[in-house]
Structure 1
Amino acid sequence: MQPERGAVRYPRWTIAATMLASSLAFVDGSVTNVALPAMGADLKADPATLPWIISAYLLPLSALLLFGGAAGDRFGRRRMLIGGIVIFALASIGCALASGAAGLLASRALQGIGAAILMPNSLGILGSSFTGEARGRAVGTWASAGAIASAVGPPLGGWLVDAVGWRTIFYLNLPIAAAAILIAWFALEERRDGEGRLDWGGAILATVALGALTWALTAWSSRHAASPGIWGGLGAAIVLGGLFVAVERHRGDRAMMPLALFGSRPFVGLTLLTLLLYGALGGLIVLLPYLLIVGGHYSPVQAGFALLPFPIVIGTASRAMGRLSGRLGARWPLTVGPIVTGLGFALLLRADPTASYWTSILPGMAVIALGMAGAVAPLTTAVLSSVDDRHTGTASGFNSAVARTGGLIATALCGAVLSRTGGALVDAFHAAAIVAAILAVASGITAFLTLDR
């Protein structure tokens, strides 16, 4: 029986192109964490700079994700997908050739811009190329490829850092990018749905506001003290955030983030849940490899394999949890899942990088992964169900941007841990685990209070 399709001419090549494109962002988002100590040592970067190696990528990705999707609607998704891949590939070359921290950070920011363009358009191409059951299978295949890329990234990146050097993790992007561009150029058809002007004002204000907030939090966490400049950065972030809301309100449904979305109580609750839960998770993904490498003298490849249970458990259990939430509704899975995740963070209070991985690290990781598996699929479904049909695409994109913003804020605060050594590093990690546990449990309580029965 032939799958139900839209007018797409090459369905398999369409899926292949979007999978390859999005895998660039998925791999890069996971592989850099295990290379962080090696990058810092080679570039002689101080502890205050290390969080920016992650944040410089997450900042434009968080701020411009919705804008990148709107640009694809306006100018054509195929064109924007290829453009995003080209930007990402050129930025990867810049990262690999960087001779200092400033050059690396600039190239990482350019990578984030490329990812913010290619990510929403890869998914948008699937949505417009397939219909009915075939669309569900295509999106499921795309998501599975992202999970596999995220799982393979840390061990592969760790091996490359060990065997050749950290710069090779960026050269790895080039053949993937070349294959994605080639397939997209010959196999994809140009599609566009939108007209009108893009929300340039909203995009600029969102980027600058998030940048000011990230700078202030990073400076505060690495210096362990607030200064007039830091308070000024926080004040600027608040003012710019207010201006962003005012601009979006003025633009109405033409805004990058239509404020009508927030008329839904479940959507507001899901947004807060996402920010808290992915903020807790983002901090762990950055800090745990660093703790193992610096505090436990793990090799980068060992630290990469230490993270492997997380995507394996999520990938294995998410489908079953999606079916369960279809029967129970999203409220209970999104309440219990984050609370279980919080218990996993609490188990990491036993984390000791010099002790056995199997008894001190793995139990917490496994419980966190199990809790997240209970939340990931129901969260996506709940977000789409919390708004009317004309806002489902924007709501999904906004929720993805909020998840990355949570990781961005957590990474900015990681300087308080990354600046420590020895026993102080372990103590700081335990303090971060407590904060993450509180955030995860709070996100579960938020779901219980705001979602419908």
Structure 2
Amino acid sequence: MGETETAGRRALWCDGRAVALLMAASLTVMANATISPALPALERLFDGDPNAAILTRLLVPAPSLMVALVAPFAGLLADRLGRRRLLLGGVLLFVISGSAGLLLPGLPTIFASRLVLGIAVALVMTAQTALIGDYFGGQQRSAFAGLQISARNFGGFLFISLAGWMALFSPRAPFAIYALPLAFVPLMWRFIVEPTSPANLRDAAVVAGGKAHRGWLPAFMALLLLQSVTNMLFFLMPTQLPFLFDARGINSAVMTGTALGVLTLAGGCLALLYARIEGWIGHGGVFAVGYGAMALGFLLLVLSEAVPVSLVGTAMIGSGYALVSPEFVPLALGMAPGSRRGLAGGLLTASIFIGQFVSPLISTPWIGSVGYEGVFLGAAGLLAAMATVAAGIRWARQAPSLSAR
């Protein structure tokens, strides 16, 4: 199995389509968290705005609202009109709307540009997810899911770390990073081709008549809910971590950039091993280990204000999230019929960003009641419970085979 996985990964790296899709995947982290290190400085820059506190915190998850609203419709468009045009148009819109914060005069207009950015992300991520199902199948699809999370995390490490240093010069400077995807367009233009049939029927279950996909919606919706909750908890990092450091008297711009850089770098490295780990411990084991690591990371952030401990905590959260995130794509694409992959990709994308958008709406008033440490401790407890349930499900599924022996 190890040699097969290695050969499959090498084949993906030699496939221009895969490389182009990995470039598109890196935009997910860039869309929201790139400006995170500049949030406290932006709040001070626009302190004359009576809504500066809430608007500043909503700048990070603002794209998520539009993704949640637009992605399902983008999925329908992907099924009917094709994936290529959605992907390329979305990247160009991403560049224009993302970098607009360099010039816009105030927080309301910047917030509006972030909503447009969300439309761009919906187009890009929906088309990208559908193309994964169209281009790849079986073990290759699972291997790509791990590489996709690595691309997001390594891209996040580069973009967020760069943003942390740029924010020292100007709170607007990180918006310039959104122009970088212009460099991706030529490769995408060349290698992203429209599949001969959006309803790719290479999967054996679909070829057999789609019986495996009957009644797919209930399980699919449960998977979407789990993904939303996962992202809601994970998004405490870019939206509330800067203010936690600020409250502790730490240089929030540099420390946030460093901490989120460590988070994404650790996640990117671990995601490269996802296919192998999943083969060892199965889906339930991956969820148990991943959620357990995230719980430990949040606990470390509460227990100590020491910088090394905080960085270890963020690394644990990034590693755990990088383990569970790849699970959702192959599971979802395996549930959905081939003719509904665009819709499935849209709903899957929407569930990620619904969780991200509601995260500060829930956590900000919660912080007002129990403080930052209380919220992070609560997140640790919920993730520990999720890890326990996942471990119990895995054990229950293994018990019959063990007793048979």
Q: TM-score, normalised by structure 2?
A: 0.78
- The equivalent of 2:390 in structure 1 is 447
Q: 1:177 aligns with which of 156, 162, 181?
A: 181
Unaligned 5+ residue runs, structure 2? 1-6, 9-13, 200-212, 398-405
Contact 1:94/1:103, CA 8 A, preserved across alignment: no
Distance 1:42 1:334, change over 3 A: same
Question: 1:174-195: per-residue Cα shift (whole Å, max 9, x none)?
Answer: 2x33333334345543447469
CA distance in 1 between counterparts of 2:119 and 2:21 reads 17
Cα deviation, residue 56, structure 1: 1.7
Residues 178 and 369 of structure 1, relative CA distance in 2, 3 Å threshold: closer
The structural deviation recorded for 1:108 is 0.3
Q: Is the 8 A contact 1:89 1:177 kept in 2?
A: yes
- Deviation for aligned residue 1:115: 0.7
- 1:110 alignment partner in structure 2: 116
Deviations 1:245-300 (A, max 9, x none): xxxxxxxxxxxxx9953433xx4553343232221111133111232245423152
Name the amino acid aligned to 2:297: G
The residue that corresponds to 1:312 in the other structure is 265
Query: Aligned match of 1:274 in 212, 222, 227?
Result: 227
Q: Kindly indicate whether the alpha-carbon contact (under 8 Å) linking 2:286 and 2:324 is maintained by their aligned counterparts in 1.
A: yes
Q: How does 1:151-162 map to 2 (within 5 A)?
A: 151-162=157-168
Q: Write the mapping of 1:23-422 to structure 2, written as runs, cut at 5 A.
A: 23-44=26-47, 45=49, 46-129=52-135, 141-163=147-169, 165-174=170-179, 176-191=180-195, 193=197, 260-264=215-219, 267=220, 269-293=222-246, 295-298=248-251, 300-352=253-305, 356-359=306-309, 361-384=310-333, 387=335, 389-390=337-338, 394-395=343-344, 397-416=346-365
CA distance in 2 between counterparts of 1:384 and 1:85 reads 23
- Taking the aligned partners of 1:270 and 1:138, their CA distance within structure 2 comes to 19
Assess, with a 3 A threshold, how the Cα gap between structure 1 residues 321 and 343 changes in structure 2: closer, same or farther: same
Equivalent-residue separation in structure 1 for 2:144 and 2:365 (angstroms): 42
Q: Which letter does structure 1 place at the counterpart of 2:216?
A: L
Higher RCO (CA < 8 A, seq sep 6+) = 2
1:18 to 15, 18, 21: 21
Kindly state the Cα deviation for residue 109 of structure 1 after the two structures are TM-superposed: 0.1
Shift of 1:436: 1.0
Q: Distance in 2 between matches of 1:406 and 1:107?
A: 20
Confirm whether residue 435 of structure 1 aligns to residue 384 of structure 2: no
Offset of residue 439 of structure 1: 2.5
- The letter of the residue matching 1:276 is V
Q: 1:373 to 1:82 in 2, by over 3 A?
A: closer
Residue 412 (structure 1) shift: 1.6
Query: Do the aligned partners of residues 395 and 160 (structure 1) sit closer, same or farther apart at CA in structure 2, a change above 3 Å counting?
Result: same
CA positional deviation for 1:52: 1.8
Between the aligned partners of 2:226 and 2:29, the Cα distance in structure 1 is: 22
Deviation of 1:79 after TM superposition, in Å, equals 1.3
TM-score (norm 1): 0.70
Measured after TM superposition, the shift of residue 169 of structure 1 is 2.0
Q: Give the conservation status (yes or no) of the 8 Å contact 2:150–2:269.
A: no
Give me the whole-angstrom Cα distance separating, in 2, the residues matched to 1:268 and 1:369.
25
Distance in 2 (CA, whole Å) between partners of 1:272 and 1:409 is: 13
Contact 2:290 2:323 in 1 (8 A): yes
Deviation at 1:158, TM superposition (A): 0.8
Question: One-letter code of the match for 1:25?
Answer: T
Q: 1:119 to 1:192 in 2, by over 3 A?
A: farther
1:207 aligned residue = none
- Give the superposed CA RMSD: 3.4
Q: Contact (CA 8 Å) 2:134, 2:198: kept in 1 or not? A: no
Show CA shifts across 1:21-43 (max 9, x none): 44333223221211111222212
SS in 2 for 1:49: helix
Once the two structures are TM-superposed, the CA of residue 59 in structure 1 deviates from its matched residue by 0.5
Question: 1:16 Cα shift?
Answer: 4.5
* Paired positions, count: 369
Distance in 1 (CA, whole Å) between partners of 2:336 and 2:77 is 22
Contact 2:242 2:252 in 1 (8 A): no
- Any idea what the Cα deviations from partners look like across 1:114-138, whole Å, max 9, x if unmatched? 1100122234345434567776666
Structure-2 change in CA distance of 1:36 and 1:162 (3 Å): same
Aligned counterparts of 2:232 and 2:246: Cα–Cα separation in 1: 22
